[in-house]
Amino acid sequence: MPEVKICGVCRAEDAALAVAAGADYVGVVLSSGTPRARSLRQAVAIYAAASGLRRAGVFVNAAFEELCEAADRLRLDVLQLHGSEPPELVEAVRKAGPWSVWKAVRPRGRAEFLAALDMYHGAADAVLVDGFSARAPGGAGVRFRWELVARARSHVPAGLRFVIAGGLTPLNVGEAVRRLQPDVVDVSSGVEARVGEKSAELVHAFVAAARVA
């Protein structure tokens, strides 16, 4: 049974909603420049409302010091890196504290997926596969090519967690779980009523569909 992460949470009430729905992680975007980005001060209130859930912070090409400072201040359980961070930085951040580091990748084919596994195995705790979009490094609601990654799923090394994101919704997460066998499913725009506001109906439906699958 995969764990469930509700990401791009912008409001404390939506963090509480993730708790009520039975999610495992709450994610807040902590890099500026996107509609769902939140400051560290705003994130404090959001995480406080997510009692019992593991805290994930999403960053894009942040410096080592910024990552560690945010992780300490917000007591993050997961740092999710969505930029072009090299393995050396990923590994250094991983070793700098008690948190886990997930590296997001956006492969456009099987070869890119396998190359990402080779690159980040041993540096990251998990590889998060997202859909490629030229518009944004994540949260664009774009699916990656499930069929290509499914055929290479067996190449994910033991000890490297496998997280899937990108275009997931309550209607397709069950199929994604069956085909890809992820450790974690990650959703943001797929459970929104509008940008920055989660739908209670969709969040509950997503968690339930992931569990049933």
Residue holding tokens 């596969």? 129
Residue holding tokens 């974690």? 184
CATH number at residue 26: 3.20.20.70
| pLDDT tens column, 63-100 | 999 999 999 999 999 999 999 999 999 999 999 999 99
User: Could you tell me if 76 and 50 are in contact, meaning their C-beta atoms sit under 8 angstroms apart?
Assistant: no
User: Could you tell me if 176 and 165 are in contact, meaning their C-beta atoms sit under 8 angstroms apart?
Assistant: no
Range(s) of the domain holding residue 45: 3-212
Whether the per-residue pLDDT at 167 is higher than 60: the answer is yes
pLDDT tier, 109 (very low <50, low <70, confident <90, very high otherwise): confident
Cα 166 to Cα 8: distance, rounded to the nearest angstrom: 12
Cα 161 to Cα 178: distance, rounded to the nearest angstrom: 16
Whether the per-residue pLDDT at 127 is higher than 70: the answer is yes
In the DSSP assignment, the letter for residue 183 is S
| pLDDT tens column, 168-179 | 999 999 999 999
Q: How many residues does the chain have?
A: 213
Number of domains in the chain: 1
